[in-house]
Structure 1
Amino acid sequence: MYSITKQFQQQQHAFYGEPYPDLQSRQRRLQQLAVALKAHSNALCEAVATDFGQRSHDETRLLEIAPCLQGISYQLKHLKKWLKPEKRRVHYTFAPASNSVLAQPLGVVGIIVPWNYPIFLALSPLMAALAAGNQVMLKLSEFTPATNKVLQAICQQALGDCVSIIEGDAAVAAEFAALPFDHLLFTGSTAVGYKVMQAAAANLTPVTLELGGKSPVLIAPDANLKRISERLLFGKTANAGQTCVAPDYVLVPRALQQSLIAQLQADFQRFYPNFATNQDYSAVINPRQYQRLQQLLSAAQAAGAELIACAAVDSACYDNRVLPLTLVVNAPADSLLLREEIFGPILPIIPYDSVAEAISYIRQRPKPLALYLMSDDQALIEQVLTQVPAGGVCINETLLHVAQEDLPFGGVGPSGLGHYHGPEGFKRFSHLKAIHKKGRFSSSRFIYPPFDRPLFRALLKWLSR
């Protein structure tokens, strides 16, 4: 097996052999990726279920495979337009001339993939990097070995030498991040994001960091609880809450708190009837993560919080790492539950007495990756959109902004750096090369030395007016 460095050098060599793939080459790669993805979709569903212990095939198709196929279709639809050099204005003092911007492939792009959505978070940035004409190296998570095997087969079938697959633990990931990529995209925790950025800085490698944090749900006083409860619930229970943009905590008017709790409990039981044997609900990925979540609950309870499980469990649930949605009331402000990203099916409920108090609560904390506002009050919507920073926003919905093909996705501050998806994804993996073109005559001759000419003096005075 080649070393990671050797594989990187091979990717560089391949890029220099085709530094600007034409439209047809890029379209062919994307089309072949779609064909291979469809052909291996059943195998991917089985593999993800194996890696998680329990995950519905339907959920994998809905949350991972379908968005990838839609994303490829979007890239194919817009790629021709994106590849056309963009004309820019020329100031009349530089005429006659033309200005344009050419989207140039960067070279070799590195992508570090997390375990929670091993298909979508591998193929979504991959398709954007391929559309931009790059070679790619994918570092897949060591916690999804079965899925990695299928992704390896897909990439070999569809893309050949355009993509290298790397597997391994944290030490391999550190070695991967230290390579002199032309761009490095990392999806994962903020803590690891710091390390990735430090490693990339040694090579001045530009980075995109898709991190996470505590994404709040702000339920306004005018919200219809019955209508928004299932939307909130879907966002929190999809993949058992193991989603970077999952609702992390809920701010609710104090007078509506008990009604919200009752509605969430009822809707959870409707979503997942006979919970202990329900196969639509995902397991926690591994014992380490399951134990971490249990410790968060135990610590909160010991500190005086009330835990409200939305379903009964049996011993098999513990053995299979299946944890029902657990609502947490009266958690202390300094508890880990309210300070660190939860990344699981635990939902703190925090009452407030005024909207200003709720907005202040969010703004006093690190900028979130997502913000979910439940309201039909247009004045409040405008206030939150303009005054509360967040990577992305859903109004009267959760999660689904990520699935909008024409919207950029990314965080801000501690929740991320840079964004992709949509046209921003193509641009993120391209160098926007500025081109200024002159013909046989150039007006620049009037500003050449010597500078003591009267014409130059007059021209300089006119340009500096």
Structure 2
Amino acid sequence: MAENKLSDMQRVLDAQRAAHIAARPEPLDVRKDRIRRAIGLLRNNADELANAMNADFGNRSPAQSKLTDIGGPIGFGKYCLKNMDKWARSERRHVQFPLGLLGAKAEVRYEPKGVIGILSPWNFPVNLTFNPLMQIFAAGNRAMIKPSEFTERTSELMAKLIAEAFDESECAVFTGPPEVAQAFSDLPFDHLVFTGSTATGRKVMEAAARNLVPVTLELGGKSPVVLGRSADFAKAGERIALGKMMNAGQICLAPDYLYVPEDKADEAVHGVWQGTAAMYPRLLDNEDYASIVSDRHFDRLKGLVADAREKGAEVIEVNPGDEDFSSTNARKMPLTILANVTDDMKAMQEEIFGPVLPVKTYGSVTEAVDHINKNDRPLGLYYFGEDAAEREQVLTKTISGGVTVNDVIFHNAMDDLPFGGTGPSGIGSYHGIEGFREFSHARAVYTQPKIDVAKLGGFKPPYGKAAKKAAAGMMK
């Protein structure tokens, strides 16, 4: 099966590359038409897509899906339409004196790379397929997509809808098990986008390296929340709870653990507890609260809690409705706060990706900064507080993919800000002009004047006085 898929994928890749070469230069109105078709696909099939995601998860709020997976990419597509004329302009660059006076010119042209592959994940299956797709189209590229097998109904529906809206020489979807994803990674794309775990990202990058394919990797990690003493703990708790409970914490940018002042730990936990209870007074029969996507993932989360309990953590279950989660197979898990955690606990070593929230304490915020710096650089970092000096200490002394101050996750929702990680949390970014350039080749073009510049500059043999004078001037 995988071999047949590989043959079919290679055929489509060859057809897309041939179509791309034949169409160069791809007019902006053609690119815009593709974005408009993608927007129309999402707008016209919002209910069907939301229902598919609900079925794949076991329970996932259609309202949440329309906000995050449908509305988000539609808005981003509009943003691309508004800005792509400006992004696509060539840039004049400086030439060394006196070449400019002699008529030399230099420019950078942002040209499409060709065929770009997208390996999209299950947690936001539509958003994390269509968001990069919008900017891939804006930059003038063709696209091939391999969505996750964990959200099978959504993936099959996207394949059907994209086939109806696009010729396969423009965009094509391939579904199937992990073997298909592996074969997809092995293809000689002109660029490859992957969203998922760090461990899988390493494998994708290794496969891409065999063909020298450049990659954009969005990999997540353990995004910390630092609460300063000046924070409004009630407001912070509510905002942290919203970010942690949305999609049941199955978000690459979800707050992974809290770092709070020693004498404010109870207040911080209470703020999160209150914020959770206000939004989710009940969980089991609440369609606003998502299920964990699979039994395997659910068991992994329970294992993180059990490990922490065995190693001395205090386990605080946020269950305002006093519901019995042991008698259901709905894969719903209440927010589980882990107090008094230590670094040897698995919950402090692995990305959690679910409704489990460790809490660490510090005497000085420098301890939090040092801890963050000792570990892998996170995709997101969050600071709550009104102390400007402390805020800048946290921001300037640490490294992360992005930052939200006095909230969580929202930097990703800003279309004009680049979104991406650094090191183990990712490579490259999209959104903003940075995304357009990520999916473009910055082509340098230099135009020489009529005068013999090489002779004038002493670069033409036989070398003599002119060469010595030029070298001496360059080494001053």
TM-score tier by shorter-chain length is: over 0.9
The alpha-carbon deviation at position 65 of structure 1 amounts to: 1.3
Aligned match of 1:425: 435
Kindly provide the amino acid, as one letter, of the partner of residue 160 in structure 2.
A
Provide the rounded CA distance (Å) in 1 between the counterparts of 2:393 and 2:94.
Answer: 36
How many Å separate the matches in 2 of 1:223 and 1:9? Answer: 56
Measured in 1, the distance between the counterparts of 2:459 and 2:317 equals 78
The aligned counterpart of 1:301 is 309
CA distance in 2, matches of 1:458, 1:280: 75
Secondary structure of the structure 2 residue equivalent to 1:323: coil
Q: Residue 87 of structure 1 corresponds to which residue in structure 2?
A: 92
User: Is the CA contact 2:254–2:409 (under 8 Å) kept in the aligned structure 1?
Assistant: yes
2:115 to 95, 108, 112: 108
**Equivalent position of 2:126 in the other structure:** 119
1:244 pairs with 2:255 = no
Q: Amino acid of the residue matched to residue 140 of structure 1?
A: P
1:13 aligns with 2:18: yes
Partner of 1:154: 161
Matched residue, 2:61:
56
2-side partners of 1:190 and 1:317: how far apart?
34
Mapped to 1, the partners of 2:327 and 2:42 lie a distance apart of: 32
Superposed CA deviations along residues 257-285 of structure 1, whole A, max 9, x for unmatched, are 11222222222111012322211011101
Question: Are the equivalent residues in 1 in contact too, given 2:239–2:275 (CA < 8 A)?
Answer: no
2:294 is matched with which residue? Answer: 286
Q: Secondary structure at the match of 2:461?
A: coil
Amino acid at match of 2:152: P
Query: Matched residues, percent identical?
Result: 38
Return 72-81 or 261-270, whichever deviates more.
Answer: 261-270
Per-residue CA deviations over 1:382-422 (Å, capped at 9, x if unaligned) read 11111111111111010110010110011111111111111
**Counterpart-to-counterpart distance in 2, 1:9 and 1:305:** 55
Counterpart of 1:66 in structure 2 is 71
Q: For residue 460 of structure 2, what is the aligned residue in structure 1?
A: 449
Alignment partners' CA distance in 2, 1:148 and 1:118: 8
Aligned twin of 1:408: 418
- Equivalenced residue count is 465
* Amino acid aligned to 2:144: M
Report the residue type matching 2:374 in the other structure. Q
- Which of 313-322 and 148-157 deviates more? 313-322
Equivalent residue in structure 2 for 1:47, among 42, 52, 66: 52
Q: Which ranges in structure 1 are unaligned for 5 or more consecutive residues?
A: none
**CA shift for structure 1 position 228:** 1.1
For residues 333 and 210 of structure 1, the distance between their equivalents in structure 2, rounded to whole angstroms, comes to 25
Quick one: which amino acid aligns to residue 15 of structure 1?
Answer: H
How far apart in 2 are the matches of 1:254 and 1:403?
Answer: 32
> Shift of the alpha carbon at 1:460?
4.5
CA separation in 2, counterparts of 1:434 and 1:401? 32
Shift of 1:93: 2.8
Unmatched runs of 5 consecutive residues or more in structure 2: none
Counterpart amino acid of residue 359 in structure 1: V
TM-score (ref. length: structure 1)? 0.96
2:143 is matched with which residue?
Answer: 136
Q: Which amino acid aligns with 1:449?
A: K
3-state SS of 1:90 partner: coil
Instruction: Work out the CA distance in 2 between the residues paired with 1:216 and 1:436.
Output: 46
Q: Report the Cα distance in structure 1 between the residues aligned to 2:152 and 2:421, rounded to whole angstroms.
A: 28
C-alpha deviation, 1:150, in angstroms: 2.4
Describe the SS at the equivalent of 1:143.
coil
CA contact (8 A) 2:308 2:341 kept: yes
Alignment of 1:7-406 (within 5 A): 7-94=12-99, 95-161=102-168, 162-311=170-319, 312-315=322-325, 318-406=328-416
Partners in 2 of 1:16 and 1:216 — Cα distance? 45
Partner Cα distance (2:97, 2:327) in 1: 72
C-alpha distance in 2 between matches for 1:252 and 1:317:
35
In the aligned structure 2, how far is the partner of 1:318 from the partner of 1:38?
A: 35
Q: Distance in 2 between matches of 1:243 and 1:441?
A: 59
Aligned residue in 2 for 1:4? 9
**Structure 2: how far apart are the matches of 1:148 and 1:379?**
47
Distance 1:169 1:451, change over 3 A: same
Q: What is the distance in 1 between the residues matched to 2:387 and 2:473?
A: 54
Letter in 1 for 2:79: Y
Separation (CA, whole Å) in 1 of partners of 2:201 and 2:310: 31
| SS of the residue 1:319 aligns to | coil
Once residues 39 and 388 of structure 2 are traced to their aligned partners in structure 1, the CA distance between those partners, rounded to angstroms, is: 41
Per the TM alignment, residue 172 of structure 1 is displaced from its structure 2 partner at its CA by 1.3
| Structure 1 residue 315: Cα displacement | 5.0
Deviation at 1:21, TM superposition (A): 0.9
Deviates more, 1:212-221 or 1:450-459: 450-459
Question: Aligned AA for 1:56?
Answer: S
CA contact (8 A) 1:30 1:72 kept: yes
**Residue deviations 1:224-251 (CA, integer Å, cap 9, x gap):** 1111111111111111000001000001
Local SS of the residue matching 1:205: coil
Distance 1:296 1:455 in 2: 72
SS of the residue 1:110 aligns to: strand
Secondary structure of 2:78 counterpart: helix
SS at match of 1:291: helix
CA distance in 1, matches of 2:218, 2:230: 33
Instruction: Provide the secondary structure at the position in 2 that maps to 1:277.
Output: coil
